[in-house]
A and B are shown apart, each in its own frame.
Chain A
Amino acid sequence: MAWQWFHRLGSPRWFYEKTQAWLPWLTAITLVLLVVGSIWGLAFAPADAKQGNSYRIIYIHVPAAFLALAGYYIMAISGAIGLIWKMKLPYMVMKSAAPIGAALTFVSLVTGSIWGKPTWGTWWEWDARITSMLILFFLYLGIMALQQAFHSRDTGDKASAILALVGTVNIPIIYKSVDWWYTLHQPATIKFVGESSIHPSMLYPLLIMVIAFYCFYALALLLYTRAEILRRESRTQWVNELVARQAGSVNHDIPVKGGSAV
């Protein structure tokens, strides 16, 4: 059946077992890209004509901000799938995406603040882009808190999915804020349509770091979701067997096939 893959995708067990094999590859790719991109951006990309070396913060600031926004889509879409098809796995993904998104939003705010001091002469400004990112940060925190606020996990899932969907109105505001309110934050330098206003010698390491952060995001989301799957499926046969295998391999120091890794 054409829809079989969709139902399998909704099975936490299938997801848990399928993603096991991806983890080492994803970890390796993420680490290599992060190291190469950071060294290239920090040491080999030319200094900026106006900002000098402080601009090198762009190589972590922009990728973190990209993923803070992309992660919100992933969270909200997972929540919507959970609400519409009443599937278990999307809610687990949604719950896992919230702390990662919050942390990356925090990173983009903090690195932006540190970058702002030598560049704009201030740590903080109530500029439209910065303020809307701060709202995004509070949205993530609100979704995490709402998830925990109910006795019933189902209710918490539904309530936080609805909050995530309502909060999507903030996303286009963040994107367009630099154009609508031209205050302090510079407009986008990378454009998917038309020419980017950044020199290739600075663009390539930035693209590597963006890809690195996407890989990192996928890795973190997998790890969080897998931990969440175990917690929520703790009463099932397959999790019990998995725990018995793992505990056995730890106690007797015998490696069990597919058991001890991660």
Chain B
Amino acid sequence: MNFQFDSFASFIAMNGHGPFVWAAYGITFAVLAYLLASPLLQRRRFVREQARQQRIANRNPD
């Protein structure tokens, strides 16, 4: 198992296929990152909103 390219520059260029390969990987990892960030942000927003409502409820006990 060897590094398949002569230099880092030829690794980036990939014999002219560089733009295609790197665009595909870039889009994929952007989507994967979004899929992890989105539920974590949803959860944080939920906790913040519920905590706010709890504070309001504690301030005005019926």
Tell me the A residues contacting B by CB distance below 8 Å. Answer: 34, 38, 42-47, 52-54, 56-57, 60-61, 64, 96, 99-100, 103-104, 106-107, 110-111, 114-115, 117-118, 201, 216, 219-220, 223-224, 226-227, 230-231, 234, 239-240, 243-244, 246-247, 250, 262
Question: What A residues does B46 contact at CB under 8 A?
Answer: 227, 230-231, 234
Could you tell me the distance in whole angstroms from the C-beta of B53 to the nearest C-beta in chain A?
A: 9
Number of A-B contacts (CB under 8 A): 114
Question: What B residues does A45 contact at CB under 8 A?
Answer: 4
Looking across the interface, which residue of chain B has its beta carbon closest to that of A213?
B32
Within 8 A of A (CB), among B17-62: 17-18, 20-21, 23-25, 27-28, 31-32, 34-36, 38-40, 42-43, 46-48, 50-51, 54
Could you tell me the distance in whole angstroms from the C-beta of B38 to the nearest C-beta in chain A?
A: 8
Could you tell me the distance in whole angstroms from the C-beta of B2 to the nearest C-beta in chain A?
A: 7
User: Could you tell me the distance between the alpha carbons of A226 and B39 in the complex, rounded to whole angstroms?
Assistant: 8
Question: What A residues does B54 contact at CB under 8 A?
Answer: 240, 243-244, 247
User: Could you tell me the distance between the alpha carbons of A43 and B48 in the complex, rounded to whole angstroms?
Assistant: 44
User: Could you tell me the distance between the alpha carbons of A118 and B19 in the complex, rounded to whole angstroms?
Assistant: 10
Could you tell me the distance in whole angstroms from the C-beta of B57 to the nearest C-beta in chain A?
A: 10
Could you tell me the distance in whole angstroms from the C-beta of A136 to the nearest C-beta in chain B?
A: 16
Question: What A residues does B15 contact at CB under 8 A?
Answer: 47, 52-53
Looking across the interface, which residue of chain B has its beta carbon closest to that of A230?
B46
Q: Assess whether A56 is in contact with B27, with CB atoms less than 8 Å apart.
A: no
Q: Assess whether B40 is in contact with A262, with CB atoms less than 8 Å apart.
A: yes
From B27, B40, B43, A111 is in contact (CB under 8 Å) with B27
User: Could you tell me the distance between the alpha carbons of A239 and B51 in the complex, rounded to whole angstroms?
Assistant: 11
Could you tell me the distance in whole angstroms from the C-beta of A60 to the nearest C-beta in chain B?
A: 5
Interface of B is mostly: helix
Looking across the interface, which residue of chain B has its beta carbon closest to that of A201?
B1
Looking across the interface, which residue of chain B has its beta carbon closest to that of A223?
B39
Looking across the interface, which residue of chain B has its beta carbon closest to that of A63?
B28
Could you tell me the distance in whole angstroms from the C-beta of B6 to the nearest C-beta in chain A?
A: 12
23 contacts between A and B (CB under 8 A): A42-B21, A43-B11, A44-B2, A44-B3, A53-B15, A57-B25, A64-B28, A103-B34, A103-B35, A106-B31, A107-B31, A114-B27, A201-B1, A220-B36, A223-B36, A223-B43, A224-B38, A230-B46, A231-B42, A243-B51, A247-B47, A247-B48, A262-B43
Question: What B residues does A243 contact at CB under 8 A?
Answer: 47, 50-51, 54
Looking across the interface, which residue of chain B has its beta carbon closest to that of A40?
B1
User: Could you tell me the distance between the alpha carbons of A54 and B14 in the complex, rounded to whole angstroms?
Assistant: 8
Question: What B residues does A244 contact at CB under 8 A?
Answer: 51, 54
From A43, A230, A234, B3 is in contact (CB under 8 Å) with A43
Looking across the interface, which residue of chain A has its beta carbon closest to that of B45?
A227
Question: What B residues does A99 contact at CB under 8 A?
Answer: 35, 38
Could you tell me the distance in whole angstroms from the C-beta of B14 to the nearest C-beta in chain A?
A: 4
Contacts A43-B11, A99-B38 supplied; 8 other A-B pairs, CB < 8 Å: A42-B11, A43-B5, A53-B15, A53-B21, A60-B25, A227-B43, A239-B50, A244-B51
